[in-house]
Amino acid sequence: MEYGKSFYDHFMHPLEKNGLAEAREKLIPQAQGAVLEIGPGSGINLRYYAFDQIDSLSLFDQRIQPTIESFAFPETLSLATTIGTVESLPYEDESFDTVIACLVFCSVPDTQKGLMEIQRVLKPGGRYLFIEHILSDGPILGPAMNMATPLWKQLAKGCHLNRRTDQRIEELDLTIKETHYFMRRSFVWGVAIK
């Protein structure tokens, strides 16, 4: 799948309307201080940032898209873009007040390693803000997601429909402040504190 704005954002439009946009609206304005966003893609979260409470913003992805480069960031914002993989973040321990990752861990090859990296770079008291799509526990949707995953993975850059990233987050040494399930429990958003 190409994560460029024209294709990805059109593809995502129905999901945004059915709960994703509302989750972003509640979650992303909580970012404050030194902020790291993993996997911003086309930069869909940027419109939800409360930039007046952000000191610095680091955008980290496998590729930085032109839509991010052309976004109208506040002139005073300290901004850095970096390319790499979340399983090996090039930041010191305890560097960030907030780490955001939305719809990223469905396709990260080593989920546990990536989540441990987020935990490592958060300052004590820092917050991990997440939205992920997960395996629904619905009696029909769940098995359908399991069945579709092998083909979907091929079509959508390694995206798994059947991961329980919410459970992997619960296993971290973080305190879950809130979690909210939506779209028949196939999506979750939440906040975890170090």
Q: Which parts of this chain interact with ligand SAM (CB under 6 A)?
A: 3, 38-41, 44-45, 61-62, 85-87, 102-104, 107-108
Would you say how long the chain is, in residues?
Answer: 194
Could you give the C-alpha distances from 73 to 52, 67, 69, 117, 186, in angstroms and in order? Answer: 11, 12, 9, 27, 32
Nearer Cβ to ligand SAM (89/174): 89
Give the nearest distance from C-beta 1 to ligand SAM in angstroms.
8
Token code pair at residue 100? 């955001």
Pairing label, strands 78-83, 96-102: unpaired
Cα R_g (the chain), whole angstroms: 16
Residue 36: which of 106, 74, 90, 72 has the closest Cα? 90
Give the nearest distance from C-beta 33 to ligand SAM in angstroms.
20
* Cα distance between residue 87 and residue 104, in whole Å: 12
Nearer Cβ to ligand SAM (34/103): 103
Give the nearest distance from C-beta 39 to ligand SAM in angstroms.
3
Nearer Cβ to ligand SAM (16/94): 16
Give the nearest distance from C-beta 106 to ligand SAM in angstroms.
7
Nearer Cβ to ligand SAM (45/149): 45
